[in-house]
A and B are shown apart, each in its own frame.
Chain A
């Protein structure tokens, strides 16, 4: 019940395209949903986050869509760029407790 399931495992997108990564959870006590971006040899870096009282949050080219009834949330990267090539992790947190991470998505944006 603590798991966060993430798909796809890998994603290849052309420059300028839209990258979409999906996550699903079971634990309704989760109340904070961040996305982290990780480059090789680096730690996860917070990209964008959302709370379940909001259905969508946009920051620049990055948008989180949140569906509370379906217990799903997704990351959309508009106008994807080669510099966006990285591993993306969704995560979920319960009231300031541990972060539970998804399995990660390796995104490759071809020039």
Chain B
């Protein structure tokens, strides 16, 4: 079965600092990969997705992610964090049959002023 791990439960960074959130997946073939963000009490918003091609993917709000097949990773990065980026971030892959998504446990990001 597909699975997603996000090793960091909670990360705190200072505003303006760079950010990297880790995601590792277990998948039989080249996966589709997704990052979503969830603000408190809200639904999930898609940040970016990888299907194929260029392994560096650009998303909304200045985020990017890099697919590394050798490491089964799809880490999310942002060069300069803003206070409004404080939220929960989820990595996801489709399930075995491509019918629904399997989500990681999430990483909560706190931003210090």
Same complex for A and B? Answer no
Task: Write the residues of chain A forming the contact surface with B, with a CB cutoff of 8 angstroms.
Answer: none
